[in-house]
Structure formats: structure tokens, C-alpha cells
Chain A
Amino acid sequence: MSKHIVAVDIGGTFSDLVCLDTATGEIRNAKVPSTPPTFIDGVINALDKVGIDPLDMLAFKHGSTIATNAIIERRGAKTALVTTEGFRDVLGAGRADRTDHFDLSSVERPPLVPRRDVLGVRERVDYEGAVVAPLDPASMQRAIHLIRRREMEAVAVVFLNSFMNKEHEYRALAAISEALPEVYACCSYDILPELKEFERTSTTAVNAYLGPIVDRYLSSLTERLARWGFRGQTMIIHSGGGVMSLDAARRLPARTCMSGPAGGAVGAAYIGRLAGYSNLISFDMGGTSCDVALISGGEPGTRPGWKIEHKVPVQFPAIDVGTIGAGGGTIAWIDKAGALRSGPQSAGADPGPAAYGSGGEEPTNTDANLVLGRLDPNAFLGGEFKLHPELAREAIQRRVAEPLGFSIEEAAEGILRVSNENMVEALRLISVERGNDPRDYALIAFGGAGPVHAAHCAAELSIPTVIVPRSPGLASAFGQLRVEIRDDTQRPLLTKHDDVDPAELEAVFSELEDEAEQLLRREGVAGEEVQLQRSVDLKYYPQTSYINLRVPSGHIDQAVVDDLVSSFLERHADEFGYSVGLDLTSVEFVNARLTALAPAPVGELVADGARGAGADAVIDTREVHFGEAGGWVLAGVYDRTRLFQGASFDGPAIVQEADSTTIVPPGAHVQVDRYHNLIIDVREVARI
């Protein structure tokens, strides 16, 4: 009887597996070492470790860093780019910006397609979509000839202004596919029909570059799973916080990048909703980086694109996750003028923090937490991994305390304060700076290091509540369990508000909807299960950034168009402090967007009804240093596995579990809810 849903998040170091029994709500999990280059071995190891019967498995959801890593390590397919003659360097040029306004020392990375394999074809369409020069068959044949002779594995086709007229791209793509059926080929109109040639070219090139390797990976994954005995549905997580079918993943492999953080935000939204919170900031902190995302009204925010590298943007709608270089391994250092700094360098996993005893000599956040008694040297990662407090002390003493003339505790507190300030800035950017008052939000903390830093960061921003889910180190994989089918498509509008014809706008959306429904039907989703959301991007005509607005369901008439324009003016005034009268300028309708949502098996967390008192979970007390309490104070140490609904206790306290530690500072009050979440009231925690 099929009843389990399994999600696997493959990272560079570890693969996390979470298995949910949809009948009982029971969760099993496994953390196993990743097994590059054949990551699938690790997946099978993890499946064996949790011991599920393949025939009991309903669905397998899967996110991985394979696509992202292939880009970063330049291990993708040998790819050609076919583009408008005369424009062979659009991809290499990028937007020409540096990462820093003074520093000239950055070293460029090669583009995904080297200039020699960018093939110009004679054709030209103007900004209105009119053909200025027809697609020249001879130059097209020449390109195909070169692709064949060079044994390219993938081709991206991108012509200027193709979002206004797809004919040339479609004809070129058809010619390539006909002549070279074994070559992976895609064109920009199918990937991203949107203004701005570089971003469109980059996204299409990423897609082609990943096409063959993602295809091979998925084939071997499904084959191995089938051999293992799995007969259910395999779904792939994408950056938009949804899953897609294997076919869709093969068509849009670029969407599989960034799936992990997206899944984490979706999981955070779900856990928060069960706990009764719909406005959340997710705070996922691991060893080297920290991902933050804003969730309003139960929905994680989205953004129109992101960058894998400085010159490799991917312009797909994605869960809006901000990443900063702050994690347990982030290094603290003193600059030449004697100021204490934190990061962005990280000790990573090797050598890791000084306390790992693997040769790291520089003090990290983990070392500071250990020195202050906030981490237990014998309980790190469930005790499988011993920490060496004396090495942490030595590193902090030598690198920070001595140069600053501080006591070792002052130095460790200082390291955490400087590091927390960086995280607080990241939180501020997605909240305050976008007009969201942190006091209306709860911080949901996960990842190995998130619960260690969450309470102090929340207090600093006046966020009243911190939620720490069960097994916070596996919350990202858990989030992937919750992800449903989501398909995002778009069409350019590029029309001033006075010129918008409601009937035409309706026709654009109808076409997008028909396509989405057909696509999902082919993937086995019944039409009535599909939920369609229309939206439009609007901006003042001269601007280059837009605001996305939901279009109400129902037939679009002039009143709907007028309402959209006035909502835009209001939103602009709310977010940016002003709006300008329409007598001075126009509002431009930039893109029509359609999001098709369909249910996928997700399962639900089930409250098990267990109850308990906080005192039952106390396993120890120890001295922990909190600067705000004036120094060393006695704190209760709680075993997370023994904390059930009804338990409550006050800080200072430490909650330990296999994959993380939660710090409860003085002044904080913890209550455990029926899903075993720690709900921490941090309103009385001192800002330091």
C-alpha cells in the first residue's frame, strides 16, 4: 500500500532524506554523506538507511545542487549559441558591471559558451516584431554544419527582439532539431520571452548548457529507483518553490537550480502556518551561508530572477531568498586598524572551525558559541563529532582577545555580535526596507546554526517570536515534501496603459491558460485540479523595474485594466513613498504572467497528542555566558526529543538535539506546541 512520500535534498557534503508516512504523520529521516559524482548512490543509501519498502513509496521529490554546481564548476554540456549575426558577444559582455566600484582585481570567469562557439545567423526583427531581414537559410545551414562538425551536445537559439516575433527562432530551432535530432536544443521564446537580450540569452544558454547533463542524471535516477523497486511518481523541485515532472525538468533544466533554498522557504511557510503564524521570516543558517526569505500571508515572496554568478543571471520567477556569507564557520578577524570584522570568509568544512581540531586556526562563530558554553562539545551533531573547546579558546585568545585587550568572553561575545549584525542586515533588507514591519512577523529558524543565533537576531530587529521546528537541520528537505506542482509562463505586453485593449489582454491570458492546462494534462493532472493565477508586471513607463500585481479572476474588461493601474499607483506610493500623476507619464504593462498550480501528494504533519512538562526534558545544567546577563549564568539543558506540547520554560536555557542546538537567552520564554515546535517569546531579550 503506497503511503510514503520521500524528499531528498542532495548537497555538496550531505544528502538529507525525509520520509513522511501520510497515514500516520510519522516522519523518518536520514543524513548520509553525498557520493559525487554518482550522487544517486547516496540517495539509495539514504533510502536503505530509513528502511522503507519501495512499493510503499507514493512519491519521490527531489532537489539537488547538481545543476548549480555544473554551472559553478563549468561541467555542463559542450554548447553552441546561435544568435543574430553581429551580436556574438552579448553573452560574454553581460551588463559590464563590476562587483565593486573601486576594486579592479576581480578575475573574470569564462562564459558558458565561448565566443568561438557563438554562431551568427543572418536575420533581424525590430522592436515591434517587424522582420527587417528574413532568416537566411544559407547562414542557418552553415551554423548547423558547424554544430555537426564540432560535435556540440547542446544549442541555445537567441535572436534579438524574438519576444516580439518568435518565427525566426522557431524556424531555426526546427532546422537544428531536424538535422541534429540528438542535440539538445532550446530557444529563448520558449524559455524566457522577455525584453533585455543579455538576461534572456544567459537564461537560455544556462538551460541548454544543463540540458544534456540533467537529462542523463534524471534517466539514471529513474532507472536506479526503478531497479530499487520504486513504482511511484518522481518529481523535481524548482526554484519557483514548486515541483515539476521529469519531462518539464528536461525541458527547463535551468529551473532546477536553487531548488534547495526554495524548498526551505516553502517548508517554513507550512510549519509556520500549522503553528498559527502566516507572517514569517525564514532563517536558514548552515556552515557557510545563511538564507533568508519573507513569507507574508502564508506565501513566500517571489522575484523575477536571480544570479548563479555575477555574469550568469537566470531570469525565472523564483522564491525570493537572500543569501549572505554568514554561517557557523564564518571567520572573525581583526583588520589593520584594529577593528573586529566577521566574514565573508568561512573555514568551511575543511579545516572548519578551530574547535574541529582539523588544523583550523582562525576563530569562527562556532568557536565563539563553544567558548561561551552555548554549544556542548560532546553533543555536536548528536555527539558523532567531538569539538575541542581548548582549541577554540586558543584561537579566540590569540586572534581576537589579545589584540583587542579583551577577556576571552568579551571577545567571543564580540564575534557573535558583529556576525549577528550582518545577519540582521540581511533580515532588515527583506523586511523593513520593503516596508514590512518586523514586529508583525515571526522568525522561523532552521539549518544547523539557525536556532543558535535566531533569538538574538530576532530581538535586535524587534521580532517578537522565534519558531524552531523539530529537526531544524533537516527542515529544508522537509520543505521539499510540501512542494506542489507549479508552472510559470509569461508573455511580453510592453504596452502603455492607454493603449491596453482589454480583449487582447484577455486573449493573451486565455492562450497562456490553454497551454498550461494542456501541458499539465499531458502530465496527468486533471483540468479541474489546476488553479490558475494571472498577474501582470507594471511600471511607470520610464522605469526599468516593475511591480507584479495579481489580476482578479474573471473576464478582463476596461474596469479591470483601470483597477490595475490604480493599484499600481497605490502600491508604488506605499512601497516607494510617492506616485506620479498620469498627466505626466504612462504606466506600462510589461509582462503577462500565468502561474498554474496543481496539487501533488504532500502529506501533512500530524499532531501526536503527546504532552509533557518542561522539567521532564531537563538533562543537565551548565554555565553559559550571556553578556546581557552580566556574564556566566546557570542554564538548564533540555533534550529536544523529550519536549512535547504543554512544556514551557524560561531562558537562559539550551535545547539540544541531534542536528542543532537552540539558544534560549535570558528573558526569553519557550512554549512547545502540538507539533513539537519551540515557540520562543523574545520580547524581553536584551538587545546587545
Chain B
Amino acid sequence: MASALDTIDPITFTVLRNGLRSICSQGSALVERVAWGPVITQGRDYSVGILTGDGRLVAHGTVDITPHMGTYEFSVKAVMEDFGDSLEPGDVVIVNDPYRAGTHTQDVRLVRPLFHEDRIFAFAVACAHWSDMGGPIPGTFNPAATESWAEGMIIPPMLVYKRDVPVKSTFEMVRMNVRVPHERMGDLAAQYQATRLLERRLGEYVERYGSDTVALAFEAVMDHAERLLHEEIAALPDGEYVFTDFCDHDIGRASHPRVRFVCRLLIDGDQATIDWTDSDEAPLGPAGLTLPALSSATYDGTLHCFPHLVPLTHGIIRAITVKTRPGSATHVLHPTPVAGYCASGYEKCDTATMGAWGQALAAAGRPEMIFGGTVNLQNCCIGGVHPRTAQRYVSYTWSEGGQGARSYGDGPSFAMFLYGGGAQNQPIEVHERWYPVLYEKFEVAQDSAGHGRHRGGYGSHRRWIMRGDAVNSIHGDREEVTPPGVAGGTNGGPNKLVLNAGTDREENLGMFATNVPLHEGDSIDFLSNGGGGYGNPLEREPQLVLGEVIDGFLSLEEARSMYGVVIESLDPEVHDFRIDRSATEAERAALAGRELPEGYGPGQVHPDGKRTGELLSRALLGHDHIH
């Protein structure tokens, strides 16, 4: 049968392909503009998508957060299973069930069937991260959870609007189970409006082009992406490429063991399989991820390596076979907790997927889309009663950090997580207005980058003083297993959360602190990961090392020990630093052939990342075949 892509008029195809993306982006812009939670309006933790009437993904917005996207098909499937033919025009279903339909309870989806002549023609989905879904911890992240009942309210598919009339019982149930409910009502209203906008705009396309043509365009959009991805796969050498990454700890187990995620990429002709079955068993704590979330992570990592294939559509989804084992860390089952999935399993699977594709690209002699690891999300929540307003508040924040180095240059500093490209940091001045904190610092964390011929981006350092009592929880990761370096570059610096640093009450809270009481006057130091480096640090251009010393990003000591660059400080007041040429030559000669320690922590070399470098060298020397 001829593909839709070969049948459709190519002009109409491009018009509708761009048009579908554009209307999703308009829906996203509306959510950002009118939602209430700062995570949505400042952090852009939202997404909007269109699916076919049988639940296949066709388009999403252009700045949306990517962990949602691979889960849409699961969300719509759950809605269809539960409601089937009973849905009517104007019905909107709310759902957040992480196991069947989503990621974690905070990502709440609104699903609206879009009708054409009495039948469901498409679905509009608007998803947003609500700052609180109830449960014992403000913000709902609960690193100590060992069961999903400790992670807020699970909403199965439920009608929230019936024929565009609010379903009061659903609203009331939500209102009674979340903190700061009026903010959540604002978020819900914004999502609802986005689905209405999509209904209107898709309706205009159907009216203009006819439903048959729009339906054909849906198929062609998927065929288009699928065809491009198969071409990319066919251009890579056949073989198996493996990249392993770890969560620091499963704190649900007494020994706090690492949790291992193994991405095994098999390339055979133009077919690719991504096999996760070698990963660890499901953790007891919230370090794993559900099947829908794993799907997002796999496609996310893939599209970072092939960004010209966006948007994510069902064409990409069906072009890759994903294997996983129910009950393993990459496919946890109810009631294994998952609220912190994004900072833990998701991030690792995204990184490992990129690492595995990176090896295949290396074997093909194509370094351009090979990246060092990038800063890991930290879900830092502080909750209490504001001393000035006597209002209850929940502050949910994160810190940007270093992006991974690339074959052609350094990784950017002050970058967002892999999957939050459109997300923004929260301004300090906004934070101080809303929450009882006073910042003392927001600067680069010196020496935090993964080193290499090209360094990763630097991590950042925030420090604030509490101006009232509160409780603090965090669900992060990568304090110990940091963003991987590649091709001989070192792993980036750590995420850290330290209470009262520099005092006799100093305490490293780690990345899994739960309900730590904070008192007025306490200080918090919040450091974020540097990105992983690329290539041998001894090959770095000394002039670049000098520049970073002058800017204060890199210490003289690290310049010498890591890069073998000896710098004299003559008159720092006027930036007069100079490279001691002969000392540098001698230092580099002495360090030549140095084997940096293999491992997963800061300053070490990730073993799989090192293998990427070996594959690349071999390919560039003309040996195309591995094994």
C-alpha cells in the first residue's frame, strides 16, 4: 500500500505539518500565559499535543517539556478504555495515573476528544505539572516513599467537563486533596482553555481542507518522521551499543544501593531495538520509572541525537522497538513510588539512550551529535506558612547547571536539564517575594565542569537564608554518579544540598532529604552538576584555560593538575595572567599518557563514555567494523 506521504500533495503536507505544530504551540503559549503555578509559567513544565482518533501522536508544541510527550498515547488509550463510545463533544477527561497513563501524579493531563460528524477524529491533550497533588510532603515529592499512597492523589480517567460544563464532584475532589487549591484551579482552567483552542483550530483545518485530507496529513506526518529515522539508522554500522548509567541510591532499601539502568541499542539494517531488560529490579524507593515515562525517555534521548526529526510522532515511536521487563527499574508497577522519576530513572534512561546512540554515531565516524552528560534535575521543595502573609506556601524549585560538552565546543553553563529545554529558571527577586528566603549567592560553582578538550558547562551555586521556619525535602540525584564525560573527558561536578555550611551545624542533606525542619536564619547551599567533558583535557587549547582562570570559573590549581596549563598571576586587578609556556610544556609532557581513573564520579572517566571515544578513533582511522 502506498504510504500517505506518497499520496498527499506535498505542499498541503508541509502546510498542515507546520500548522499542526503551530496550533499546539499556540495552546502551549496560552497555558504559559494564564496558568498560575510558577513551575508552569516560569519553568514551562507543560505540554500540548494532538493525537489521531485512535490515539497516535501527531504533533506537540515547540518549547514543551519532553517527558510528557511519549506518554500521551498511554493517556489517550486509558481514556478510550474507560470511556469508549460514551464520550461526547465537549467532554474533557482528567487523568494523572502514572502507571497507566503518565509520569508522576503532579503531571495532570486534560484529554479532549475532537469530533467530526459524530465520531472522534482526534484528541487534544494539555498536560501541566501542578505544584502539589497532596500527600504528606508539600510539593508531593517524597524521597522516603516506598508506596505510591505516599505520593499524592492518583486520578484515574474522570470527566472534569461534560459537554463543556464543569463536573462539580471532580473539581471538589481535586480541591479537597491538594495544597493551595485555588492555584491548581488556575492551572486547570488554563489547560482546559488550551484544549478548546486546539478544538477550534483543528476544526478550522478540517473545514478548510476536509477531514479526509487532514486525516491523510496525520498519516503522512508520521510516515515522514518514520522514513527519516529509518534512513538515519541505516547509515549506522550494524552492531550492539551499550551505555550504563546509575541512580545514586535506592533509599527504599537499607543499604541505599545504586540503581543500574542499561541501554542496549541493537542496529540491524534500518531497524533499531532499544532493550532495557538488563537494568536492575524495581527499587523500593522512588528511583524507577513507569512504562509510559520510559517511552518518553527513550524517544527523548533519541531525538537529542537526531533533533531534525522533531516533532515526536507515532512515526518515531513505531520505528524503534523498545523492550523492557515489567517489575524492573525501567518498568515499575503500582504501588512502587515514582514521584521523583524525572530526577532519577528518567534522567538516567535519557542519558543512557543518548550514550548508546552516541556510540553508534562514533562507530560511524560522526562525532557531531555525541554529547557529554548534562545537569540532573533536583526537585527542591520548601513548605510552610509565610511569616508576613500567614499564608501557606509551597516553593518548588530547581537549579540550572552545566550542559554536556560537544565535539566542536564547550557545553553551555546555566543550562536546563536534557528534557527541559524550554524551561526557565525562577528569578531570585520573584522567589524572594513569594517565599521567606533571602539569597546570598547565585554564581558559577568554580571547578564544577567536567573537563576535556572541550569542557562541560559549569554548575551553579545558589545560597539562601531562611526568613521563617519551614520544612525542606528534595528529590534529586547525581551527587555521586555525575553527568558522564565522553571520549576521555571527565564526569561533571556534583549536585549538592548543604544546611548551614561553614558552621558547626553544617549538614550535607544530600539529594534525598525528607521533611528536614528549617529554622529562621538557617542557610542552604544548593549546588548543581557541571556537564560532562569531551576528549582528553591535555588537548585543550591553553588560551581557553587562561580565559576561564581570569573569569574565575577555574582555579589555578585545577588548570595545572587537570589541563597541565601553568598560569602566572602577575596583576589580577587588570587581568594580567600569563601562560608559562615552558612550564606548561613540561607539565603536559609529564602528564602525557596519564590514565584518568575510570568511574562514575566527578573527575573520573565514564567507562562507556571512554568506549565511545575508542569507537570514534577506530572509525576515523578507517576501521568501520566493530566486533
Residue of B nearest to A579 (CB): B189
Chain B nearest Cβ from A342, distance in angstroms = 8
Could you tell me if A102 and B414 are in contact, using CB atoms closer than 8 angstroms? no
Flag whether B555 is at the interface (Cβ < 8 A). Answer: no
Residues of A within 8 A of B553 (CB): 115
| Contact with B11, one of A150, A338, A340, A572 (Cβ below 8 angstroms) | A340
Could you tell me if A580 and B551 are in contact, using CB atoms closer than 8 angstroms? no
Residue of A nearest to B311 (CB): A102
Flag whether A90 is at the interface (Cβ < 8 A). Answer: yes
Residues of A within 8 A of B35 (CB): 543
Contacts A93-B442, A127-B429; A338 near B38 (Cβ below 8 A): no
Residue of B nearest to A124 (CB): B438
Could you tell me if A102 and B415 are in contact, using CB atoms closer than 8 angstroms? no
Could you tell me if A417 and B11 are in contact, using CB atoms closer than 8 angstroms? yes
Residues of A within 8 A of B368 (CB): 105
Contacts A429-B26, A433-B26; A100 near B307 (Cβ below 8 A): yes
Flag whether B460 is at the interface (Cβ < 8 A). Answer: yes
Flag whether B129 is at the interface (Cβ < 8 A). Answer: no
Could you tell me if A338 and B10 are in contact, using CB atoms closer than 8 angstroms? yes
Contacts A104-B371, A116-B552, A195-B433; A89 near B573 (Cβ below 8 A): no
Residue of B nearest to A413 (CB): B11
Residues of A within 8 A of B135 (CB): none
Could you tell me if B36 and A540 are in contact, using CB atoms closer than 8 angstroms? yes
Counting chain B CB atoms within 10 Å of each CB, the highest count among A116, A161, A414 belongs to A116
Residues of B within 8 A of A349 (CB): none
- CA gap between A576 and B191 in the complex, in Å: 11
Counting chain B CB atoms within 10 Å of each CB, the highest count among A92, A94, A97, A116 belongs to A97
| Contact with B421, one of A93, A101, A196, A197 (Cβ below 8 angstroms) | A101
Flag whether A132 is at the interface (Cβ < 8 A). Answer: yes
Chain B nearest Cβ from A494, distance in angstroms = 7
Contacts A197-B428, A339-B10, A429-B26; A86 near B441 (Cβ below 8 A): yes
| Contact with A160, one of B15, B429, B460, B574 (Cβ below 8 angstroms) | B429
Residues of A within 8 A of B443 (CB): 86-89
Could you tell me if B15 and A421 are in contact, using CB atoms closer than 8 angstroms? yes
Could you tell me if A545 and B438 are in contact, using CB atoms closer than 8 angstroms? no
* Residues 633-684 of A at the B interface (beta carbon under 8 Å): none
Could you tell me if A89 and B227 are in contact, using CB atoms closer than 8 angstroms? no
Residue of A nearest to B309 (CB): A102
Flag whether B455 is at the interface (Cβ < 8 A). Answer: no
Flag whether B427 is at the interface (Cβ < 8 A). Answer: yes
Flag whether B325 is at the interface (Cβ < 8 A). Answer: no
Residue of B nearest to A195 (CB): B429
Please give the number of chain B residues whose Cβ is less than 8 angstroms from any Cβ of chain A in the complex: 93
- CA gap between A98 and B22 in the complex, in Å: 19
Flag whether B42 is at the interface (Cβ < 8 A). Answer: yes
Could you tell me if B11 and A95 are in contact, using CB atoms closer than 8 angstroms? no
Could you tell me if A543 and B442 are in contact, using CB atoms closer than 8 angstroms? no
Residues of B within 8 A of A576 (CB): 30, 33-34, 190, 193
Could you tell me if B5 and A196 are in contact, using CB atoms closer than 8 angstroms? no
Could you tell me if A414 and B429 are in contact, using CB atoms closer than 8 angstroms? no
Could you tell me if A585 and B182 are in contact, using CB atoms closer than 8 angstroms? yes
| Contact with A543, one of B36, B225, B413 (Cβ below 8 angstroms) | B36
Could you tell me if A95 and B424 are in contact, using CB atoms closer than 8 angstroms? yes
Could you tell me if A98 and B416 are in contact, using CB atoms closer than 8 angstroms? yes
* Residues 559-591 of A at the B interface (beta carbon under 8 Å): 572, 576-578, 580, 584-585
Bitwise, B388-409 to A at CB < 8 A (1) or not (0) is: 0000000000001001101001
Residue of B nearest to A196 (CB): B427
Flag whether B41 is at the interface (Cβ < 8 A). Answer: yes
Could you tell me if A104 and B14 are in contact, using CB atoms closer than 8 angstroms? no
Could you tell me if B574 and A150 are in contact, using CB atoms closer than 8 angstroms? yes
Interface stretch, picked from B63-71, B72-80, B90-98, is B63-71
Could you tell me if A161 and B429 are in contact, using CB atoms closer than 8 angstroms? yes
Contacts A87-B442, A335-B228, A421-B18; A105 near B427 (Cβ below 8 A): no
Residues of A within 8 A of B444 (CB): 89, 92, 115
Bitwise, A607-618 to B at CB < 8 A (1) or not (0) is: 000000000000
Residues of A within 8 A of B550 (CB): 116
- CA gap between A437 and B34 in the complex, in Å: 21
Residue of A nearest to B204 (CB): A432
* Residues 126-185 of A at the B interface (beta carbon under 8 Å): 126-127, 132, 145-146, 149-150, 160-161
- CA gap between A98 and B225 in the complex, in Å: 23
- CA gap between A687 and B205 in the complex, in Å: 13
Residues of B within 8 A of A114 (CB): 551
Contacts A86-B440, A197-B427, A576-B34; A116 near B64 (Cβ below 8 A): no
Residues of B within 8 A of A338 (CB): 5, 10
Could you tell me if B430 and A544 are in contact, using CB atoms closer than 8 angstroms? yes
Flag whether A215 is at the interface (Cβ < 8 A). Answer: no
Residues of A within 8 A of B13 (CB): 339
Flag whether B37 is at the interface (Cβ < 8 A). Answer: yes
Could you tell me if B442 and A86 are in contact, using CB atoms closer than 8 angstroms? yes
Chain A nearest Cβ from B383, distance in angstroms = 16
Residues of B within 8 A of A104 (CB): 304, 307, 371, 374, 403-404, 406, 418, 421
Question: Chain A contact residues (Cβ within 8 angstroms of B): what range?
Answer: 35 or more
| Contact with B414, one of A93, A404, A494, A543 (Cβ below 8 angstroms) | A93
Could you tell me if B185 and A195 are in contact, using CB atoms closer than 8 angstroms? no
Bitwise, B427-454 to A at CB < 8 A (1) or not (0) is: 1111011000011111110000000000
Could you tell me if B38 and A544 are in contact, using CB atoms closer than 8 angstroms? yes
Flag whether B510 is at the interface (Cβ < 8 A). Answer: no
Could you tell me if B185 and A126 are in contact, using CB atoms closer than 8 angstroms? no
Chain B nearest Cβ from A318, distance in angstroms = 19
Flag whether A96 is at the interface (Cβ < 8 A). Answer: yes
Flag whether B249 is at the interface (Cβ < 8 A). Answer: no
Chain A nearest Cβ from B485, distance in angstroms = 15
Counting chain A CB atoms within 10 Å of each CB, the highest count among B17, B32, B310, B412 belongs to B412
- CA gap between A365 and B363 in the complex, in Å: 40
Residue of B nearest to A86 (CB): B441
* Residues 71-98 of A at the B interface (beta carbon under 8 Å): 86-90, 92-98
Contacts A101-B422, A198-B427, A542-B183; A94 near B463 (Cβ below 8 A): no
Could you tell me if B11 and A414 are in contact, using CB atoms closer than 8 angstroms? yes
Residues of B within 8 A of A580 (CB): 182, 185-186, 189
- CA gap between A568 and B13 in the complex, in Å: 41
Could you tell me if A107 and B409 are in contact, using CB atoms closer than 8 angstroms? yes
Chain B nearest Cβ from A433, distance in angstroms = 5
Flag whether B327 is at the interface (Cβ < 8 A). Answer: no
Flag whether A514 is at the interface (Cβ < 8 A). Answer: no
Residues of A within 8 A of B26 (CB): 429, 433
Residues of B within 8 A of A545 (CB): 32-34, 41
Could you tell me if A197 and B414 are in contact, using CB atoms closer than 8 angstroms? no
Residues of A within 8 A of B22 (CB): 425, 428
Between A and B, 19 residue pairs with Cβ closer than 8 Å are A87-B442, A96-B414, A100-B310, A101-B64, A102-B304, A102-B421, A103-B421, A105-B369, A116-B550, A146-B573, A336-B228, A337-B227, A339-B224, A342-B14, A418-B14, A542-B186, A578-B192, A580-B186, A585-B36
Which residues of chain A have a CB within 8 Å of any CB of chain B?
A: 86-90, 92-98, 100-108, 114-116, 124, 126-127, 132, 145-146, 149-150, 160-161, 195-198, 335-342, 404, 413-414, 417-418, 421-422, 425, 428-429, 433, 494, 540, 542-545, 572, 576-578, 580, 584-585, 687
Interface contacts beyond A105-B307, A404-B10: sample of 17 additional A-B pairs, CB < 8 Å, sorted by A: A87-B443, A89-B443, A89-B444, A100-B421, A102-B300, A104-B404, A145-B573, A195-B429, A197-B427, A338-B5, A339-B224, A414-B10, A543-B186, A544-B41, A576-B33, A578-B189, A578-B192
Which residues of chain B have a CB within 8 Å of any CB of chain A?
A: 5, 10-11, 13-15, 17-19, 22, 26, 29-30, 32-38, 41-42, 44, 62-66, 182-183, 185-186, 189-190, 192-193, 196, 208, 223-225, 227-228, 231, 300, 303-304, 307, 310, 368-369, 371, 374, 400, 403-404, 406, 409, 412-416, 418-425, 427-430, 432-433, 438-444, 460, 463, 550-553, 573-575
What are the 9 closest A-B residue pairs judged by CB atoms, nearest first? A101-B421, A542-B36, A96-B400, A93-B414, A103-B307, A98-B421, A95-B424, A86-B441, A584-B182
